[in-house]
Structure 1
Amino acid sequence: MSGHETEVVIVGAGQAGIAMSEHLATRGIAHVVLERSRIAERWRSERWDSLVANGPAWHDRFPGLEFDIDPDGFATKDQVAAYFEAYVRKFDLPVRTGVDVAAVRRNGGRPGFTVETSDGTWDARYVVAATGAFQHPVIPTIVPESAGLHQVHSSSYHNPEQLPEGAVLVVGAGSSGVQIADEVRRSGRAVFLSVGPHDRPPRAYRGRDFVWWLGVLNKWEAATPPLGADHVTIAVSGADGGHTVDFRDLAASGITLVGRTTAFEAGTMRFAPDLRDNITRGDANHLALLAEADAYVARNGLDLPDEHEAHHLGPLPASAIDPVLELDLEAAGVTSIVWATGYRQDYGWLHGKAVDDRGKPRQQRGVSAEAGVYFLGLPWQSRRGSSFIWGVWHDAGYVADHIAIQRTYAAHTTGPAPITGRTAEPNDTIRDESLAIAQTGAAR
């Protein structure tokens, strides 16, 4: 197999890899993007058929290209995949698909890394791991296969027709779990929805989408999750033109709400007695955001319509007052479980100090502990918005700046540069260092 050389190898051609490629191309830094499948593959094959983006098209995009839909609309998963393909074409980005990266190893006795792939090796000075956070679906080891239930992760769920006849338990009440539960319920199935802790912003308030409110109120800029959590579930939906998720409405539609799924034994699923607390805390998050929005409107004298009714929440559903703590799945007719329970990362192909003993990235704002290795697309990489399309684009700019600065240091030579036609002066070294500093500043 042939060998290749470039300055930067980017692994992954999803939103993170494409953003990284554009920033490097803008700075004139030679690079290649290696993708084992197709551009934006997870949007194509690891999302359900009716999925739409949770943010409006005017917001959830890169600055260099708009979606070809109503700016206030929500792009379908196929439109998102097509958008990233169009982005690659527009900026002529060097993406190579069908190339699987097997290992990245630091070179011995010389700078850079050897990247081993299914299409030969690449020699690169820098490597960006842009495979993101959604790599391997996580299904908790609660229900054994011997239980005879059809179990599927949300990444493999496509539509209700793929599930066997019978009732369905959906575990996880973030954006994915809520939308899947509602879709399955609309298909005529009985549905149980396991609800854990979550944030519950309004889909829109006083004529502005929630993404706008999180922006002007600086919520996107939060640096760390509350209480040090790795992830904060956001219950919000762009389905059917977008609507605010209220678990009261889901219960009224016929969905049975239960608390966090904790155990399974002899055909019985057990749930934590926390449903009421989880809904109440989600309500508190909702109302606090409305109050901050109202204060912002008053402070800035904005002419936005009042929505006093949004502050008035109905009574808690009966399932929260008298919670179901145990469910005999056979008696309830449950034949399927959809696990909307997130993902784990896999950087087994990265060698060295870039990941810790648990396989977690060792990094700060994408700059890893292994000099020359970078990460992109991580949740909370720099802010709350880092996992979103627009957020990863801004994180990519920071990583690209860091690479540009490191290139300047690598190009710098110590000592006075030889000067033709005259004798070198003591200040020549100072001039040379000043030039390097100036170049570094320009790179920023």
Structure 2
Amino acid sequence: MSNSLNIKKINTLVVGAGQAGLAMSEHLSNHSVEHLILEKNRIVESWRSFRWDSLVANGPAWHDRFPTLDFDDHSPNYFAKKDVVVSYFEKFAKKINAPVRSNVNVEEVLRDNSTQKYLVKTSEGNIEADNIVVATGAFQKPIIPPIVPDNIDLTQMHSQFYKNPHQLKEGAILVVGSGSSGSQIAQEIMLSGRKVFLSIGPHNRPPRRYRGKDNVWWFGALGVWQKKTPDPNTQHVTIAVSGYDGGKTIDFRKFANQGMSLVGLTKNYENGKLYFENDLKINLDIGDQSYLAVLKQADEYIEKNNLDFPEEPDARNIIPDPDCVTSPILEIDLNKEKIKTIIWATGYQYDFSWLKVDTFDKEGKPDHYKGVAKANGVYFIGLPWLSMRGSSFIWGVWQDAKYLAEQIFKKNNILSKMIKSK
């Protein structure tokens, strides 16, 4: 591969050695499909470099894992720290003897229409492949909305680059985003003694546990993980859930009672002031409704199946609205509040610019069915809602990989039979 004129041939090239790429490797090996994984950094680099120091998995160890490997030396209800997650995947890669080439960047993939092969340009030479599996995940380009100018005396960073409170300048912090990342980062900074403002948009807020079972168990029992298509009304609503401190239900009103200032959706910036939508109460209510809906469905499931689960009558208690909700803050003078840092926990967008193949829709999103792309021989893995709600979770990506490996195996067999019949 060091000689760019020497084209290496492979049946299936997997781009990315995160959880998706490793899951693909196990199933491809089970079908004896020749394959190679190229990773531009190291195995599960996102968990190593693009997560904050105290991050733990959002689901317990019995759930957030591959079915073929348990977490060693940990309780099934343990929420794995990020270094434990990295070690887990390193062990998994060794277990399955994954053919990973690290520090190799895939720069371009083109289709050779004459041979129906894919020509792959990498930082270490060229490869010809029959199949391309795109396992680069959903967290590719961090999104920072163009609200606050870059030329003012203020540090702006995406949550991807947040590590811990000690890296932040003295002063107050505004965290924008009420999903898992924003809520956990805001709580950590608050508990470190800093003044924190948290900008909250529409969100779902599931219970961490209810009547003796974790929310991931309930989502399985209630069929949530297996849903095939998102509700158009809630497709882009973030989910506030956390495994921090053994796993607690996120409650923004409790954050406020502990000293955090809650504000609505961040709207615009002008002359040193940030302005917010007057929707904080509405957004908190949306979160409450999603929370209570899970409890209701769980109770109905228990009754229908005659299960002897412990009662939890206090679970429906919603604490009173704090002052920042009843008298909402609609604007903040950054200098007066001494806000020196904004952390944008505002998600990511895809970047498939290297994949020069006609397999995207008008919006630039992959055109596929359960990961099988419109372009013959291209497969996507690790994307949200790839085949179901659970597709972007560790166990879900493993199930999707099983299906995709079967499709590649079948395709290879069909081609082999066609070649033999000629």
**Which bin holds the TM-score, normalised by the shorter protein?**
over 0.9
CA distance in 2, matches of 1:50, 1:72: 18
Alpha-carbon contact 1:268-1:327 (below 8 Å) kept: yes
- What is residue 100 of structure 1 aligned with on the other side? 105
- Pick from 147, 154, 175: which aligns with 1:149? 154
**Farther-moved stretch of structure 1 (211-220 vs 362-371):** 362-371
- How far residue 108 of structure 1 moved from its aligned partner, in angstroms, is 3.5
Give structure 1 stretches of 5+ with no counterpart: 419-444
- Pick from 272, 277, 291: which aligns with 1:272? 277
Check if 1:53 corresponds to 2:49. Answer: no
- What is residue 168 of structure 2 aligned with on the other side? 163
- What is residue 121 of structure 2 aligned with on the other side? 116
Distance 1:99 1:374, change over 3 A: same
Check if 1:176 corresponds to 2:181. Answer: yes
**Farther-moved stretch of structure 1 (312-321 vs 174-183):** 312-321
Q: Structure 1 counterpart of 2:308, which letter?
A: D
CA distance in 1, matches of 2:306, 2:120: 56
Check if 1:7 corresponds to 2:1. Answer: no
CA distance in 2, matches of 1:352, 1:52: 37
Report 1:213-232 matches (<5 A). Answer: 213-227=218-232, 230-232=235-237
Distance 1:232 1:397, change over 3 A: farther
CA distance in 2, matches of 1:358, 1:283: 33
Distance 1:227 1:413, change over 3 A: closer
**Farther-moved stretch of structure 1 (348-357 vs 234-243):** 348-357
CA distance in 2, matches of 1:205, 1:120: 53
- What is residue 65 of structure 1 aligned with on the other side? 69
Alpha-carbon contact 1:48-1:157 (below 8 Å) kept: yes
- Pick from 372, 376, 387: which aligns with 1:371? 376
- What is residue 436 of structure 1 aligned with on the other side? none
- What is residue 332 of structure 2 aligned with on the other side? 327
**Farther-moved stretch of structure 1 (56-65 vs 350-359):** 350-359
Report 1:1-400 matches (<5 A). Answer: 1=3, 2-68=6-72, 69-227=74-232, 230-400=235-405
CA distance in 1, matches of 2:390, 2:418: 39
Give structure 2 stretches of 5+ with no counterpart: none
CA distance in 2, matches of 1:413, 1:130: 29
Q: Structure 2 counterpart of 1:214, which letter?
A: F
- 1:62-107 Cα deviation digits (max 9, x unpaired): 0110112211010111111111111010011111101100011112
CA distance in 2, matches of 1:107, 1:209: 49
Any idea what SS the aligned residue of 1:169 has?
A: strand
- What is residue 440 of structure 1 aligned with on the other side? none
Structure with higher RCO (Cα < 8 A, 6+ apart) = 2
CA distance in 2, matches of 1:170, 1:270: 14
- How far residue 112 of structure 1 moved from its aligned partner, in angstroms, is 1.5
Any idea what SS the aligned residue of 1:146 has?
A: coil
Q: Which has the larger Rg?
A: 1
CA distance in 1, matches of 2:418, 2:229: 39
Alpha-carbon contact 1:347-1:355 (below 8 Å) kept: no
Alpha-carbon contact 1:44-1:77 (below 8 Å) kept: yes
Q: Structure 1 counterpart of 2:173, which letter?
A: V
Any idea what SS the aligned residue of 1:25 has?
A: helix
Alpha-carbon contact 1:225-1:232 (below 8 Å) kept: no
TM-score normalised per structure 2:
0.96
- Pick from 411, 415, 424: which aligns with 2:416? 411
- How far residue 122 of structure 1 moved from its aligned partner, in angstroms, is 1.1
Q: Structure 1 counterpart of 2:91, which letter?
A: A
Any idea what SS the aligned residue of 1:338 has?
A: strand
Q: Structure 2 counterpart of 1:34, which letter?
A: L
- How far residue 356 of structure 1 moved from its aligned partner, in angstroms, is 3.7
Consecutive aligned runs of 4 or more in structure 1 exceeding 6 Å deviation: none
CA distance in 2, matches of 1:410, 1:228: 43
Alpha-carbon contact 1:225-1:231 (below 8 Å) kept: no
CA distance in 2, matches of 1:386, 1:393: 8
Alpha-carbon contact 1:128-1:376 (below 8 Å) kept: yes
Alpha-carbon contact 1:22-1:91 (below 8 Å) kept: yes
CA distance in 1, matches of 2:230, 2:344: 23
